[in-house]
Chains A and B, each alone.
Chain A
Amino acid sequence: MEQSGRGHKARREETDGRGRLHTEGQQAVFSAAFPYAMKHFRRITVRCNTRKGGDRLDTKTAAVKMVNVTKVFGSIVANDKVSLEIRRGEILSLLGENGSGKTTLMNMLSGIYFPDGGQIYIDGREVVIRSPKDAFDLGIGMIHQHFKLVDVMTATENIVLGIEEKGKLDLKAAAERISAICKQYGFELDPNQKVYDMSVSQKQTTEIIKVLYRNADILILDEPTAVLTPQETEKLFAVLRNMRNDGKAIIIITHKLHEVEEISDRVAILRKGQFIGMLTTAESNAQEMTNMMVGRQVELNIERPEPVDPKPKIEVKGLTVRSEDGILKLDDVSFTVNSGEIFGIAGISGCGQKELLEAIAGLQKAEKGSIAFVNDDGSREELLGMDPLSIEKKGVALSFVPEDRLGMGLVGGMDLPDNMMLRSFRRGKSVFTDRKFPRGVAENVVQELQVVTPGLSTPVRRLSGGNVQKVLVGREIASAPAVLLTAYAVRGLDINSSYMIYNLLNEQKKNGVAVVYVGEDLDVLLELSDRIMVLCGGKVNGIVDGRTATKNEVGLMMTQLRGEDADE
């Protein structure tokens, strides 16, 4: 076939550089960030190098080759003539800001979306991927960011789902094979556990085994580490390297530069739906990648003004929360947030951050404890046991930017003014709504936060992630809060939008607002927060000064519970 010929001359770099993962300098950076990963890292590096002499797989023909692939959603061009190659025996990072089209591109490879234009070649042969089934048949397996599991089914049922084999459905045999795979890679999973009983990492394990079970040789992982603890991440990377060494082609979608550097052989960078370039990881650095990703030099420093006249605003004492199924989510949590400071909360995801913020906002019932709001005159209001409406009626100006923006913070199907009205519609005694006021707020937010939208009457669902977040934060700030709670305020946002949010939070801080910032990126937490509380398994594992604490220290506190002196 003549198509396969084209693949040959496509790329000339790599082959010799691939075995080595990192330059010396990068190793140092890496070891600082992930001290516990170092032991494994060396071993793996060695193993990679030994492969150099061994059998070489055919690296001339790309396992996957995408040519001028285009995808359009309504008026948004998600992928504009993207051309890309992935070879066997390599790990490729797909790097790009949010909304740059990484996931969309990979969804076309896994059959979730169908391209509007362009060609896809697998092993040099042009293919049409109409459905995920087609993708499986071609050996492509994708592990989605949002788990695609059926809640009421067991791990085994989920794993064998969709496999067409002759003969009877034998769940026992399947469970045995799953156990074998678990053993081989060191996963822990009960094949008969129902998904609704699983933790997040167990669910991801199920997802990964699902792909391994199918013997996929082209693996796509969409932000796989977002929900993992550092140890789990380390384990995952070890597995990925093993698979790479088996000659599989692996694609990782991520924003995290240190992960790119740690795991990948090459990096493909997308920006605003366009392919920007391909780098060999070992020959590049974070700065270059960032530049390609955002298109220009980005200031990496986050401003941190000194708190002015901090006074206690929120006092939480002995807060204990259980989930509906009786699991202890918060265990005797006590802390104080002051006005005029940014109070960071760090922790592995699912350590009670969500429950904590929702308890303060009146959305979560607590078993015991107290949450007091301290007025300027020193009088206190007990917030626990009140719903958001009664908190508002007490005159407590509390704003909350929840994690789930379109599912909780905003109404996706409504336009901007109607979304602004969510906070203001109760104003006045009239039975009718006042539409002028929210319209004004919407106009202000659009102008001041540079929200990109076709118009005020566009449903917010149609805006991109960053703009959605701007609308939400803008509305929450517009009500002049005394306390501002934010959960993962920059998750999924590109760097520019993230900085805009940091600036907004700092502005609030300067205005004397008590800002609570729940974050996942330690670097940001350390640069932005005045104090950082570290949660570990629902307990307060310490509160540190954001100016003096180190990443190592906080990272360690996230994973290991300290002794009895935890509460300061």
Chain B
Amino acid sequence: MSKVKTPRFHISKRGIIPRRQTWLIRGAAIVLALILCAIITTMMTGLNPVKVYTTIFEGNFSTSRRIWVLMQNIAILLAISLAMAPAYKMRFWNIGGEGQVLVGCLATAACMIVIGDKVPNAVLIIIMLIAAVAAGAVWAFIPAFFKAKFNTNETLFTLMMNYVGLQLVAYYVIVWEVPKGSGKIGIINQATQAGWLPQIGSYKYLLNILVVAVITVLMYIYMNYTKQGYEIAVVGESENTARYVGINVGKVIMRTLILSGAICGLTGFLLVAGTNHTVTTTLAGGRGFTAVMVAWMGKFNPVAMIFASFLIAFLEQGASEISTMYSLNQSFSDILTGIIIFFIIGSEFFINYKLNFNKTGEKEAQ
């Protein structure tokens, strides 16, 4: 026989595979990632792997306060992810969530500082809300406008806008710093609590969580059942087709990004008015970027995104608990998050493709 070498395997596209199986593959990837994370943690801390996860679990659920913090983190991350989802569905690579949230924060804080004592609280909150939403929307609209008019690369544009926004916040932090020279604003309207969102009962985070829950439902309906949502899907799949059926692509891009930015701005409003009552350059804390990964992991489906943001927030809080207990650096959670996302990203391959092994007569059981 000939001694010709055949490649050991080659890759081909899968047909349609059942939904359940896709989630099984993703689940397996997460489990593998968690195992690897446990191994790494054990190497760093000497903990046994079971203990690692008990610690992570405890970090999230051991006290009701921790549970609330977890919920709040999920809510904020989910809110930004929801803002990203329609843009990404349209294949508009908005990685400017960070900047859009920050300018929302800044606008909220600005209202609190400048007109905090001049108008009734209810009016103030409405003005803050409008300002934050408008600021976020403008921040996203600028790159969208140039994308629509001149096809300017939006990935790079939105990325740059993050830093313009960040420096703008840095500027105002110094302008409004209290006390002078401290380099931070501190709690705004500590005494009057003007512009602070009301608490529901004794639950500090409940209002934020409820607002985000409402946004999630609305976004789900918007993307799946409305004409605008359908237009977004068509533009995302094929701009030519969209033009052909009379969809004004530029208009849809701008409209969607205004929505995307507005939700980011709203999230900024929740962060400042609802919980932090101050603004710093790190208030968004990289969640603008993490949200991109969440939206993508959830396949731009708001329901799946709830789980994705839960996973990320859960791990971050758990890793931070490990860090505190074993006086490791807080950045430990970033490493774990990175690993989990690598696995989930990688697992998509096994959903879309299959490996065919070329052993004679053998076929991979699919």
- On whether A and B touch (CB less than 8 Å), the answer reads yes
Q: Which residues of A contact B (CB under 8 A)?
A: 1, 3, 72-75, 114, 116, 126-128, 130, 361-363, 387-392, 400, 402, 404, 406-414, 418, 421-423, 425-426, 431-433, 458, 462
Q: Are A410 and B356 in contact (CB under 8 A)?
A: no
Say yes or no: is B240 at the interface (Cβ < 8 Å to chain A): yes
Q: Are B230 and A421 in contact (CB under 8 A)?
A: yes
Q: Are B238 and A412 in contact (CB under 8 A)?
A: yes
Q: Are B244 and A411 in contact (CB under 8 A)?
A: no
Contacts of A3 in B (CB 8 A): 2
Q: 12 additional contacts, CB 8 Å, given A73-B12, A75-B15, A128-B4?
A: A74-B13, A126-B4, A388-B243, A389-B246, A407-B238, A411-B237, A414-B237, A418-B230, A422-B245, A426-B227, A431-B226, A458-B16
Q: Of A406, A412, A433, which is in contact with the most chain B CB atoms at under 10 Å from its CB?
A: A433
Q: Are A432 and B225 in contact (CB under 8 A)?
A: yes
A361 to B7, CA, bound (A): 50
Q: Which 3 interchain pairs have the tightest Cβ spacing?
A: A389-B246, A388-B246, A74-B15
Say yes or no: is B14 at the interface (Cβ < 8 Å to chain A): yes
Query: In chain B, residues 1-35, which have Cβ atoms closer than 8 Å to a Cβ of chain A?
Result: 2, 4-7, 10, 12-16
Query: In chain B, residues 227-262, which have Cβ atoms closer than 8 Å to a Cβ of chain A?
Result: 227-231, 233-234, 237-238, 240-241, 243-248
Contacts of A412 in B (CB 8 A): 237-238
Q: Are B240 and A404 in contact (CB under 8 A)?
A: yes
Given A73-B12, A73-B13, A74-B15, A389 and B237 contact (CB-CB distance below 8 Å): no
A407 to B225, CA, bound (A): 24
Jot down 26 A-B pairs with beta carbons below 8 A, ordered by A.
A114-B10, A116-B356, A128-B4, A128-B5, A128-B6, A362-B246, A387-B246, A387-B248, A388-B243, A388-B246, A389-B247, A408-B238, A408-B241, A409-B241, A411-B237, A412-B237, A413-B237, A414-B237, A418-B230, A421-B230, A422-B234, A425-B230, A426-B227, A432-B225, A432-B226, A433-B230
Chain B residue with minimal CB distance to A459? B16
Query: In chain B, residues 124-154, which have Cβ atoms closer than 8 Å to a Cβ of chain A?
Result: none
Q: Looking at chain B, what size class is its interface with the partner chain?
A: 20 to 34
Contacts of A421 in B (CB 8 A): 230
Partner of B2, one of A75, A126, A404: A126
Contacts of B2 in A (CB 8 A): 1, 3, 126
A423 to B13, CA, bound (A): 31
Q: Are B240 and A407 in contact (CB under 8 A)?
A: yes
Q: Which residues of B contact A (CB under 8 A)?
A: 2, 4-7, 10, 12-16, 225-231, 233-234, 237-238, 240-241, 243-248, 356
Contacts of A361 in B (CB 8 A): 244
Given A73-B13, A407-B238, A433-B230, A392 and B246 contact (CB-CB distance below 8 Å): yes
A-B contact count (CB 8 A): 87
Q: Of A1, A388, A421, A432, which is in contact with the most chain B CB atoms at under 10 Å from its CB?
A: A432
Report the minimal beta-carbon distance from B220 to chain A, rounded to whole angstroms: 13
Given A425-B227, A432-B227, A433-B230, A411 and B15 contact (CB-CB distance below 8 Å): no
A167 to B7, CA, bound (A): 31
Report the minimal beta-carbon distance from B63 to chain A, rounded to whole angstroms: 43
A363 to B6, CA, bound (A): 50
Contacts of A128 in B (CB 8 A): 4-7
Report the minimal beta-carbon distance from A488 to chain B, rounded to whole angstroms: 15
Chain B residue with minimal CB distance to A430? B227
Q: Are B227 and A433 in contact (CB under 8 A)?
A: yes
Chain B residue with minimal CB distance to A404? B240
A511 to B99, CA, bound (A): 58
Q: Are B241 and A422 in contact (CB under 8 A)?
A: yes
Chain A residue with minimal CB distance to B6? A128
Contacts of B4 in A (CB 8 A): 126-128
Q: Are B15 and A388 in contact (CB under 8 A)?
A: no
Contacts of A462 in B (CB 8 A): 16
Contacts of B227 in A (CB 8 A): 425-426, 431-433
Chain A residue with minimal CB distance to B10? A114
Report the minimal beta-carbon distance from A381 to chain B, rounded to whole angstroms: 16
Report the minimal beta-carbon distance from A60 to chain B, rounded to whole angstroms: 20
Chain A residue with minimal CB distance to B5? A128
A75 to B12, CA, bound (A): 12
Report the minimal beta-carbon distance from B253 to chain A, rounded to whole angstroms: 16
Report the minimal beta-carbon distance from A48 to chain B, rounded to whole angstroms: 36
Report the minimal beta-carbon distance from B290 to chain A, rounded to whole angstroms: 27
Contacts of A431 in B (CB 8 A): 226-228
Given A73-B13, A387-B246, A422-B234, A410 and B226 contact (CB-CB distance below 8 Å): no
